[in-house]
Chain A
């Protein structure tokens, strides 16, 4: 029995990693005053970019690297692609004062198309590609990394000058501007960094956790991460607990499916229903950064 509980906890932990990474990224982004509802799309892009780019580097460009490095490279290039998308979203949101929600929707639509298109265009298969063994990563170290990152992010936001600057841009950009902070730049960098974490979450899904790329691999996890941002009240430390709760329901869904308790369609609903219930239960208490989602314009 204890062994079973231990196993379920481990499964929940591994399922929580993508949600945690994406949540941490979005907390950083929103703390600086930018909202990115394109997290889901960035996650999808990361899930494709990681395995696709290492496949290209190794099999088509003939790049030589020590074997164990490939999975790491896959995650790093995915994060780089995520940062690039974040730069675009951050530039539109901060410098151009564009509509952040619409830009986020655009990222989601673009990614849904690009991943389906990319799998077809690169591998010539429709919507589903197995990850080769040489590119697979062990999920456990990534889980450890994500929790350590949560601690680091908490320290950054609450205990350093840089964190105070980021939070000031999200709470009161006018005041931040008046003391000489470049609000636009802070928002741009925070958005790019946050987006790179969402893409890393996606690469974790394809390279480490599920060992496959599909056109629906993120399956709403990006939006669950958005729910977790609210659930954790924009606090990276609480995000760990929140991600574990959401991850638990994800793991539970697969467990019940394996046990054959109910049809798999029913068990697959569990994470979404749980998210709805959790969000309905806690949202009243949450306090978002005051200027989140609002463009800042110098008078």
Chain B
């Protein structure tokens, strides 16, 4: 209990410090911090449609947050969520290309998740067989995915009527808004259910235990008869399923476009938002989901900030960087 209170307090301090420095940066670059923060933090809370939109923004961040959080438990710094989201979205678009009816939905999930898992297998196997640091390999895979998906979306899967985006998910295969007039679809409850499932998996299943013990100390794991390589591989795969699903849902469950933008705008950065969510939630799946709600509000709020106060949308990422910097100070390395 004391530990929980302490970590809540620490997180609050990190948030306060980050927002304070962020305000100074805003002021120094000629924007109004008061107007910006009020548009960013209060506008989304003051209106039901905006709040539901913030929740819609949070759904993929929950999933990519789980990707990073599960990796952390295994002692991995898996920053490949970004590329795996692209691959998941690619799978969903490919499914719409192959099936022009309701079958596109299950096909999208299957293809998207399969592609994301295949993508994560490369850094996983390189790490296990060759000892390659996953930070470098996952970033390289992210860039390869970036160009691969851009190429396919602008050629095979291009929408001839709207060349700035991919072909759309067939009408029957789309997840429609649960509340009319909002972006909130089944993606949101699904993402939060995934967080609960992940929590049960890492906390109560034997494989979750194997992942955690391998992450804490591979030598001890071996002494208990756990193969750390298998735990690593599993952590990569579980993470890829979550990230792949995030990509699929951004295509099949995101009104009004139900497609992938040619410049990947509707999936870009989700992997990195997930890292922030995972760190804010200190790797605990339920806390990660909570952190994702906060980041969803920031995301929705940033749109209002840009409109109401003129402050560039990219400010969101600056504040995320500052929050993590303050968290890094508090997270002392285990001796």
Contacts and interface: CB of A to CB of B under 8 A. Distances in A.
The B contact surface, by secondary structure, is: helix
Given A102-B328, A112-B317, A113-B317, A276 B141 contact: yes
Contacts of A96: 329
Interface in B285-328: 312, 314-325, 327-328
Contacts of B139: 40, 220, 223
Given A109-B272, A220-B139, A272-B140, A98 B328 contact: yes
A66 to B, nearest CB: 30
A259 interface: no
B275 to A, nearest CB: 6
B6 interface: no
A269 B318 contact: no
Interface stretch (A115-123, A172-180, A191-199, A236-244): A115-123
B67 to A, nearest CB: 14
Interface stretch (B126-134, B188-196, B213-221): B126-134
Interface stretch (A7-15, A153-161, A278-286): A278-286
B324 A37 contact: no
Nearest to B320: A109
Contacts of A266: 147, 151
Q: How large is the interface on A (under 10, 10 to 19, 20 to 34, 35 or more residues)?
A: 35 or more
A273 B144 CA distance: 7
The 8 closest A-B pairs by CB, nearest first: A110-B321, A113-B317, A265-B151, A106-B324, A116-B314, A113-B318, A109-B321, A102-B328
A295 interface: yes
A263 B324 CA distance: 38
Contact of A272 (B130, B143, B279, B333): B143
A226 B135 contact: yes
A10 B135 CA distance: 30
27 contacts: A98-B331, A99-B331, A99-B333, A100-B333, A103-B324, A107-B325, A110-B318, A110-B321, A113-B314, A113-B319, A114-B321, A116-B317, A117-B315, A226-B133, A226-B136, A227-B136, A265-B147, A266-B151, A268-B147, A269-B143, A269-B144, A276-B126, A279-B132, A283-B133, A294-B333, A295-B333, A297-B335
Interface residues of B, number: 50
Contacts of A102: 279, 324, 327-328, 331
A242 B320 CA distance: 34
Interface of A: 37, 40, 88, 92, 96-103, 105-114, 116-118, 120-122, 215, 219-220, 223, 226-227, 230, 263, 265-266, 268-269, 272-273, 275-276, 279-280, 283-284, 294-295, 297
Contact of A269 (B147, B322, B329, B330): B147
Interface in B1-53: 29-31
A120 B150 contact: no
B77 interface: yes
The A contact surface, by secondary structure, is: helix
A266 B55 CA distance: 36
A295 B331 CA distance: 12
A112 B147 contact: no
Contact of B312 (A116, A230, A263, A269): A116
B103 interface: no
Nearest to A121: B29
Interface in B113-160: 122, 126, 130-133, 135-137, 139-141, 143-144, 147-148, 150-151, 154-155
A231 B320 CA distance: 32
A117 B131 CA distance: 37
Interface in B210-231: none
A273 B150 CA distance: 16
B206 interface: no
Given A116-B317, A273-B144, 7 more contacts: A100-B328, A102-B331, A106-B327, A109-B317, A110-B325, A117-B29, A275-B140
